[in-house]
Chain A
Amino acid sequence: MVEDVDADLVRRCRNGDRGAFEVLLRRYERPVYNAALRMLRNPEDAKDVSQTVFLKAYEHLAEYDPKYRFYSWIYRIAVNESLNGLNRRHRLDPVDEETTDERPGPDQLFGDEQRSRCVQGALMCIKPEYRTVIVLKHFLGCSYHDMSEILQLPEKTVKSRLFTARQLLKEELLDKGMTSP
């Protein structure tokens, strides 16, 4: 049903209903921004990337192939732009900015905020290709098939990468003092 709504909105956009683009933008601003934020950590960078994602989507809507789901298409743009953002940042500031100590103090318990910071810190410690699959699966709720479509990889590769990513993330979380994972 959600796919039907998207397909309808895309059709309207292509037929000149410019307002339909705003509806698409409102539907996807949250997942796209959150994906970028989890990939990049920095909210300003995530905002810049999200803007670029929607501008590209608007510019290239005519090239979108309706046989694919719209969210796969826009998430693919989001992943690619986030990876580009990471590369740009790395070129500008090659010093590893991702070494912040996310561990709680000796008597500090994990609250929601602390947990989120810790997970984000652990995400930043794993390679972007692994971070991407975690983000797609756990923060965007994509299926193996969706991820295969978004990353343009065979499902088998997606699964293998996801399983490895989880193992690496778990180790990073343990390293940061989260004992439960």
Chain B
Amino acid sequence: MIEDRHIDLIHAELDGELTSEQRAELSRVLLANPEVRARRDELNRLFGVLAKVASVEPPHDLATSVLQAVGLEAKATRDPAARAGFRGTAWYTPTLLRYAAVFVGGLLASAAVLQLGSRGGSHLDVSQLVGTIGGHDLAAPEAPIDRIELDLAQVSGSASSYVVESVVVLELALSARQPVEVVAVQGDRSVSFRLAARLGEAPEQLLWVAGDAGARELAIELKIFGSGTLLYEGALETFQAK
């Protein structure tokens, strides 16, 4: 015979909500009562079926339509960097996109600066920031101000901070072995994006135009989450002491 309390314990166990005393009680009941064991197996199978229902990718224009409706342009979703998984706030923020872009080509082997001449412009296509820069003047490569090398089980690669023409830029080159969420914060600005697991592929290279000269002395805080757990927390300097 199964008591209601036993059923409650089985559900609570599979829901991960048992106290240690309840766990001990359930263990005793499971040992003694085959009916309870059978009921638990049955419930466990239901959990298994539900766990196999895959999460669905939201429509690609969902976020864009919401942002447009509230008066925020959603250019990021149209951009190559966004399609690669970038979840940015600053790509299209006019005050941040005043001068510079950095061309990422092969782990930033050559950091190039180009004058976009868009100071005060309200919209800037991010495709100008990442990708081909043919036709623009190139500046000399710059060394990062700070750099973090990551070699975690879930994600590896590097994060580097630059100041390009008074603009603070965070460059990430990351390979995820399982889905991770990256959050970067500098002062009152933040960005968050997800990286899908891409085994055996080259690192995904992403840029965030973090802040302007006024924010230069603020470090960029970097956090990486996997399955809701903090995997990494660190900070990148954005100011080089003379």
Which residues of A are interface residues toward B (Cβ below 8 A)? 1-2, 5, 8-9, 12, 15, 17-23, 25-27, 29-30, 32-34, 37, 43, 47, 50-51, 54-55, 58, 112, 115-116, 119-120, 134, 137-139, 143-144, 159, 162-163, 166, 169-170, 173, 178, 180-181
Contacts and interface: CB of A to CB of B under 8 A. Distances in A.
A169 B63 contact: no
A3 B136 CA distance: 43
Interface stretch (B65-73, B99-107, B164-172): B65-73
Interface in B167-210: 181, 183, 185, 188-194
Contact of B225 (A1, A37, A143): A1
B65 A163 contact: no
B8 A33 contact: no
A33 B49 CA distance: 21
B230 interface: yes
A119 B72 contact: no
A85 to B, nearest CB: 15
Counting chain B residues whose Cβ lies within 8 A of the other chain, the interface size class is: 35 or more
Nearest to A2: B228
A29 B62 contact: yes
Contacts of B76: 22
A22 B53 contact: no
B74 interface: yes
A19 B90 contact: yes
Contact of A23 (B12, B188, B190): B190
Contact of A173 (B46, B70, B229): B46
B62 to A, nearest CB: 6
A34 B87 contact: no
B46 A5 contact: no
B56 A26 contact: no
Given A25-B67, A34-B56, A51-B69, A180 B89 contact: no
Contacts of A33: 56, 58-59, 62
- Interface class of chain B by DSSP: mixed
B192 A12 contact: no
A116 B56 CA distance: 11
Going nearest first, the 10 A-B pairs with the smallest beta carbon separation are A19-B89, A33-B58, A26-B87, A138-B50, A54-B66, A1-B230, A181-B46, A23-B192, A29-B58, A58-B70
Given A170-B42, A178-B49, A18 B72 contact: yes
B82 to A, nearest CB: 10
A1 B89 CA distance: 20
Contacts of A170: 42, 46
A26 B15 contact: no
B66 A55 contact: yes
B52 interface: yes
